[in-house]
């Protein structure tokens, strides 16, 4: 196919922040946890792929989070989602004049982030986008492993800081990202700086190992 196909507009709010952030930071080595149809990774390729050589790692189970399962708030056919991801990134790569090394890690983020660490990629990435599972225990694991993979001076962004699953019994803190991001930021406060202007997202810069 020659066209990208996206069925959600989740990336719109992120785009407004990245329009300013990415040209300033010019990250070369990027890690994304949670790629879905590739909206965020396609944006990165198209925004930076004519200026710098990119190495992008995408981690996703392509089986969805709890919200994508039957009966969930964002129920999706994940086989089609993965096919659209493959198509969309191929279309975007063709727009880049510089090389784009796209590495796809299919599976759970805790396993693949630990594997990246074990393969020698500690402090390797310039920019990490955490947008995978929105369950607090998973977000906490992504944050801690991601921080180890981030270089000093690099940025880690979390999507859906204030997201809550619509549940019959109301909001459940443990089934949302905020409590995990808050715990991570508090515990690592001497090694990072919170960046302003994230809106529904949360941005930190790594100051120390």
- The site for ligand SAM (CB under 6 A) is made up of 10-11, 34-37, 39-40, 59-65, 108-109, 131-133, 138
- The encoded tokens of residue 138 equal 């998973």
Q: Beta strand pairing status for 150-158 and 192-195?
A: unpaired
In angstroms, give the least distance from the CB of 101 to ligand SAM. Answer: 19
DSSP code for 118: H
> Which residue, among 20, 13, 21, 64, has the nearest Cα to 39 in the 3D structure?
13
| Number of helices and strands in the chain (H, E) | 6, 7
The CA-based dihedral angle spanning residues 181, 48, 37, 196, taken in that order and rounded to the nearest 10 degrees: 20
CA distance 87 to 94: 11
Comparison of 124 and 158: residue with beta carbon closer to ligand SAM:
158
Residues 6+ apart with CB under 8 A from 46: 92, 95, 96
């Amino acid at each position: 196919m020659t066209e990208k196909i996206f069925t959600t507009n989740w990336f719109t709010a992120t785009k407004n922040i990245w329009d300013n952030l990415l040209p300033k930071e010019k990250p070369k080595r990027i890690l994304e946890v949670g790629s879905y149809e590739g909206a965020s990774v396609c944006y990165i390729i198209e925004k930076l792929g004519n200026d710098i050589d990119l190495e992008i790692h995408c981690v996703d189970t392509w089986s969805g989070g709890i919200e994508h399962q039957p009966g969930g708030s964002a129920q999706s056919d994940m086989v089609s989602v993965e096919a659209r991801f493959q198509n969309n990134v191929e279309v975007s790569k063709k727009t880049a004049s510089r090389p784009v090394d796209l590495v796809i890690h299919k599976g759970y983020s805790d396993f693949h982030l630990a594997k990246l660490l074990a393969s020698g990629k500690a402090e390797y990435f310039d920019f990490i986008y955490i947008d995978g599972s929105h369950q607090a225990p998973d977000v906490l694991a992504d944050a801690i492993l991601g921080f180890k993979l981030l270089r000093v001076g690099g940025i880690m962004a979390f999507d859906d800081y204030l997201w809550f699953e619509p549940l019959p019994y109301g909001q459940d803190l443990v089934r949302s990202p905020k409590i995990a991001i808050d715990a991570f930021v508090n515990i690592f406060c001497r090694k990072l700086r919170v960046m302003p202007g994230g809106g529904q997202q949360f941005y930190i810069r790594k100051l120390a190992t």
